[in-house]
Amino acid sequence: MTRRDDCRVGSVSLESAWPAEMLVSGADPPMEAGFLKRPFGGRAPEYEEECVVSEERSGANILVESLVRQGVEFVFGYPGGAVLPIYDALFGDERLRHILVRHEAGAAHAAEGYARSTGKPGVVLVTSGPGATNAVTGIADAFLDSIPLVVITGQVPTALIGSDAFQEADTVGISRHCTKHNYLVKDPADLAATIDEAFQIATTGRPGPVLIDIPKDVQIATAPWTDAPAQRRNRYSPPTLGGADEIAQAIDMIASAKAPVLYTGGGIINSGLRATQLLRELQEKTGAPVTSTLMGLGAFPADHADWLGMLGMHGTYEANLAMNQADLIVCLGARFDDRVTGRLDAFAPNSKKIHVDIDRSSINKTVQVDLPIVGDCASVIEQILEGWGSRKPQDLSAWKARIDGWREKKSLSFPLSKEAIMPQLAIQRLFELTRDKDPVISTEVGQHQMWAAQHFHFFGPNKWLTSGGLGTMGYGLPAAIGAQCGNPDSLVIDIAGDASIQMNIQEMGTATQYRLPVKVFILNNEWMGMVRQWQELTYESRYSNSYSDSLPDFVKLAEAYGWKGIRIENESQLDAGIKAMIEHDGPVIVDCLVAKESNCFPMIPSGASHTEMILYGDTVAGTMDDEAKALV
Amino acid sequence: MMHIKHEAEERHVLTVTVDNEAGILAKIAGLFTARGYNIDSLTVADITENHSVSRITIVTHGPPSQIDQIHAQLERLVPVHKVVDLTEVGPYVQRELALVKVAGVGEKRVEALRIADVFRAKPVDTTTGSFIFELTGAPDKIDTFVTLMRELGLVEVGRTGIVAMIRGAEEA
């Protein structure tokens, strides 16, 4: 019996019973025949009144009821032998919508995209063994980017655990260091409490993925179920408020700074809409310029006069120089990642540093700070604002004048080409032509990702979905699918590269099945561009295996999946192609052929400091010493 | 040319109070491996009547910044209730138990017994040609005893690793 054979029957009849166009439009699918005969396959609403009667239910049913109780709308998954009881419990249950992906990595990334774009936890359901291991990349991705996921994996029956049974893997062992917490549930009586705790852990404190491994016999065996919330140990209570002394100290430091910078990260987005509003207030009160990490884009509006742009390896000159020359850095929900700091001993040498983070282990991990504040970004900013009173910040005009001088460098400018579309220009046009639609943008990983971060601009949170920490090629398309599920009326675009898009291209089928009108905008330069760029900078242009040979015809591929395919070959077709993409009421691939040799600048080479940026790519070829080569 | 750099290191004793649940030891041991921290010794046993809470004593060494990270990373684990860095918090008592097997005859055998008496090591098994001594104390006392026994026919050593506790009336 193979995993793929034994799951077909259930999923096919489920999908055929749900007209695809209804699945994301908000309309409830019709009940299918036999639905009411199922013991617990979904109860009529009037039955759900306050009955606290305890009844025996299977583990699979307890799982489904618990997910419903948590308010789950979508489950991204793929069936297989060890989750068949759960899939049977889902059969015909109209309260949860199962999105059948084409590969389990797609399920995890789709759940990430859903979570990042809605602020709600993403739920994944996969089988044991290969199902679980395929999902691990997405779980690790969510762990590094602090995305709340609850991942349900099937496991072989408890009696067979450890026997090298068919499709057995030590899922709890494999996922131990890429989950925030994980469980192996050996008794259905523990399921409800475990699931409730899993959602709490995934969504509070520093969010992250939580995995629940459920052996097949535990899915079938029964336990008492009541509608009352499960009895749960209250053992996880992360801090939210900063200490009063630290807050007072922070206010004094900010109020006396002559050259402050607010350095913001994904923590602001995770902290919720309130945090982004409070950040604006803090900026107004203090006048400090704002920069952001890749993960934090959108927390502060990009059209604000004090917005410096992204910082770090491919950040703007003004952001990096401001960090280097600041006398105070206020880090809000960021973690001094190596992409941000560059050479550590040259990082922001003359500044005091305040670090606000809900995760104590992020503080002093790489950069020693003067004032750590452990707490939730929104709460801590609010505390600072409350304590700020009627203070006046220092006169920052001299500081802002220096920053304006750095802005003069126009570090994001690029040479135009008559022969080919510059990739940066393609992003700029995409931005201009979609701006009024407030789109959700996902990316894959590589040059196109950095160009998107530089040339697409964001004005609110939850619009920018990218794999920052793990840098997972293949993230963008499934993430766009998940985001489209959670935002059915939004324009969702995956900005992709020709190499990355092929890593989870099978998910095109998922978008087709559920009529998800996602757009994939490929900057096609026939290279793994970022690899080639590093080979150019570091290995004297020895392009070892970085050429994208044998690319598919993306337009024909689109058509093969029932998508629309558009090819843009020159600048005169660019706007029309983008407009045609937006106007098409369905999924679209745009194969945008761009200048093949373009590199992404500005850039701080690995092992260099913020003051050693390469601008405009004027010195691109060369090599590096071994110390620099050894850095990632 | 590039060489790997090393930083000055310190020894620290940490006590970790945890939920006594499946996989917690693997989580902690694995955290040390995954993040490149060192474990010199680790002891664990449950400490409550209902077996719900365990106390783990970890001896580690590393640069001060790494010790601080170990503390923070341990606290980040959901089943971990409390982490105390005894080396940081103040004077503490540390004890370790060792079983030391020594084989020999004649003067060496007598000398082994005499030294054992000095160290308050207790013979817990004896044959005409061997002893097993039980010894408790701080690790350096056990180190010294083992070194002395090496000349007198040391066969094997088993050590528990230390358990430790802060001095004074207060709970750490």
Classify residue B172: in a domain, yes or no: no
* Cβ–Cβ contact A579 with B under 8 A: no
Check whether residue B120 and residue B55 sit in a common domain: no
Sign of CA dihedral A593, A597, A600, A602: negative
- Contact with chain B for residue A212, Cβ under 8 A: no
- A205 and A140 Cβ atoms separated by less than 8 Å: no
Task: Tell me if A493 sits within 8 A of A463, measured CB to CB.
Answer: no
The number of folded domains in chain B is: 2
Judged by CB atoms closer than 8 Å, whether chains meet at B76 and A627 is answered as no
Altogether, the residues listed in chain A come to a count of: 632
Mean pLDDT computed over A209-235: 89
Q: What's the per-residue H, E or C state across A6-59? A: HHHHHHHHHHHHCCHHHCCCCCCCCCCCCHHHCCCCCCCHHHHCCCCCCEEEEH
Take residue B59 and report the two structure tokens written for it: 């001896």
Question: How far apart, in whole angstroms, are the C-alpha atoms of residue A563 and residue A555?
Answer: 9
* Residue A630 scores a pLDDT above 90: no
Q: Quick one: chain A helix, strand, coil %, rounded to 5?
A: 45, 15, 40
Share of chain A above pLDDT 90, in %: 83
Residues of chain B neighbouring A235 (CB-CB closer than 8 A): 19, 78-79, 81
For B131-144, the pLDDT digits (tens) are 999 999 999 999 99
Q: What residue numbers bound the domain in which B115 lies?
A: 95-160
Range list of H helices, A351-394 = 377-388
- Minimal-distance CA residue of chain B relative to A181: B78
Residue A560 Cα, gap to closest chain B Cα (Å):
44
Residue B5 lies in a domain: no
* Nearest residue in B to A179, CA atom: B77
Residue B139 lies in a domain: yes
Is there a contact between B2 and A626 if contact means CB atoms under 8 Å apart? Answer: yes
Task: Say how far apart CA B65 and CA B45 lie, in whole Å.
Answer: 28
Are B99 and B84 part of one and the same domain?
Answer: no
Average pLDDT rounded to a whole number, residues A413-417: 90
CA–CA dist A361, B68 (Å, integer): 8
Q: What pLDDT score does A229 carry?
A: 75
Q: Which two tokens stand for residue A118?
A: 């809605």
User: Residues near A70 by Cβ (< 8 Å), separated by ≥ 6?
Assistant: A121, A195, A196, A199
Residue A181 CA to residue A158 CA, distance in Å, equals: 20
Residue B1, domain member (yes or no): no
Alpha helices in A175-293 (DSSP H): 191-203, 216-220, 244-256, 266-271, 273-286
For residue A626, give how far its alpha carbon lies from the nearest alpha carbon of chain B (Å): 6
Is B3 among the domain residues? Answer: no
Q: What is the pLDDT along chain B (172 residues), one digit of tens a residue?
A: 788 888 899 999 999 999 998 889 999 999 999 999 999 999 999 999 999 999 999 999 999 999 999 999 999 999 999 999 999 998 999 999 999 999 999 999 999 999 999 999 999 999 999 999 999 999 999 999 999 999 999 999 999 999 999 999 988 8
Minimal C-alpha gap between A360 and chain B (Å): 6
List chain A residues with CB under 8 Å of B23. 172, 176, 182, 184
Residue A602 has pLDDT above 90, yes or no: yes
Tokens 């990349």 correspond to what residue? Answer: A137
Looking at the fold, whether B19 and B57 belong to one and the same domain comes out as yes
**Per residue in A464-504, pLDDT tens?**
999 999 999 999 999 999 999 999 999 999 999 999 999 99
Closest-CA residue of A relative to B72 is: A361
Which pLDDT does position B5 carry in this prediction?
81
Per-residue pLDDT, A52 = 57
Q: Are residues B79 and B59 in the same domain?
A: yes
B10 CB near a chain A CB, below 8 Å?
no
Are B138 and B70 contained in the same domain?
A: no
What are the Cα distances from residue A374, in Å, to A205, A361, B57?
A: 11, 10, 26
Specify whether the CB–CB gap between A587 and A512 falls below 8 A.
yes
Q: What local confidence, expressed as pLDDT, does residue B172 receive?
A: 80
* pLDDT, tens digit, 9 for 90 and up, residues A2-48: 343 333 333 333 333 344 444 444 444 443 333 333 333 344 444 44
Mutate to test the interface with B, among A144, A174, A237, A360 (most CBs of B within 10 A): A360
Per-residue pLDDT, A548: 95
Q: Known catalytic residues of A?
A: 104, 166-167, 216, 530
- Residues A368, B79: C-beta atoms closer than 8 Å: no
Collapsed DSSP state (helix, strand, coil) of residue B127: strand
* Residue B4 lies inside a defined structural domain of this protein: no
User: Which among B22, B72, B76 has CB closest to A184?
Assistant: B22
Residues B69 and B104 in one domain: no
Examine the domain organization and report whether B69 and B136 are in the same domain: no
Tell me how far apart the alpha carbons of residues A102 and A468 are, in angstroms, rounded to a whole number: 24
CB–CB of A365 and B69 under 8 A? yes
- Mean pLDDT score, A423-427: 97
Amino acid at residue number A488? P
Which of B89, B104, B135 terminates a domain? The answer is B89
Q: Are residues B151 and B116 located together in one domain of the fold?
A: yes
Q: How many angstroms separate the CA of residue A147 from the nearest CA in chain B? A: 16
B23/A363 touch (CB, cutoff 8 Å), yes or no: no
Q: Which residues of A82-96 are buried (b: 16+ CB within 10 A; e: fewer)?
A: bbbbbbbbbbbbeeb
Sort out which chain A residues have CB atoms less than 8 A from B30's CB and list them.
176-177
Angle at A105 between CA A23 and CA A587, to 5 degrees: 40
From A181, A201, A360, residue closest to B75, measured CB to CB: A360
SS3 content of chain B, % helix, strand, coil (to 5): 30, 40, 30
Q: What residues in B contact A201, CB-CB < 8 Å?
A: 78
Predicted local confidence at residue A53, as pLDDT: 64
Question: Last residue of a domain, which of B69, B89, B109?
Answer: B89
What pLDDT does residue A24 have? 46
Q: Burial-class residue B172 by CB neighbours within 10 Å (0-12, 13-18, 19+).
A: middle
pLDDT at B153: 96
Looking up residue B70, the CATH number of its domain turns out to be: 3.30.70.260
H helical segments located in A53-190: 59-69, 84-90, 104-118, 130-145, 171-174
- Residue A621's pLDDT band, with cuts at 50, 70 and 90, is low
How far is residue A533 CA from its own chain's centroid? 25
Q: How many CB pairs under 8 A join A and B?
A: 43
- A201: nearest CA partner in chain B: B78
Give the H/E segment covering residue A451: helix A447-455
Q: How confident is the model at residue A632 (pLDDT cuts 50, 70, 90)?
A: low
The pLDDT of residue A16: 38
Same-domain check for residues B37 and B83: yes
Note whether residue B170 is domain-resident.
no
Give contacts of B75 with chain A, Cβ < 8 Å. Answer: 360-361
Residues B14 and B38 in one domain: yes
pLDDT at A386 over 90: yes
Q: Is residue B34 within 8 angstroms of chain A, CB to CB?
A: yes
Report whether A614 contacts A625 (CB < 8 A): no
**Is the ipTM above a cut-off of 0.85?**
yes
Strand partners, A57: A223
* Residue A256 near residue A283, CB atoms below 8 Å: no
CATH of the domain at B152: 3.30.70.1150
pLDDT at B3: 84
* A587 Cβ contact list (under 8 Å, min separation 6): A508, A511, A512, A516, A517, A518, A519, A520, A558, A561, A562, A563, A564
Which residues on chain B are in Cβ contact (under 8 Å) with A172? 23
**Number of neighbours of residue A620 by Cβ within 10 angstroms:** 15
Kindly report the nearest CA distance between residue B57 and chain A, in angstroms.
20
B119 within some domain: yes
| pLDDT reported for residue A44 | 41
The pLDDT tens digits for A229-286 are: 776 677 898 989 999 999 999 999 999 999 999 999 999 999 999 999 999 999 999 9
State residue A626's pLDDT score.
77
Question: Which of B48, B69, B89 finishes a domain?
Answer: B89
Q: What residues of B are in contact with residue A180 (Cβ under 8 Å)?
A: 78
Residue whose structure tokens are 């609110």: A460
CB-CB neighbors (< 8 A) of A182 in chain B: 23
Domains of chain A: 5-225 (3.40.50.970), 244-407 (3.40.50.1220), 423-600 (3.40.50.970)
Looking at CA atoms only, how far is residue B2 from chain A in angstroms?
A: 6
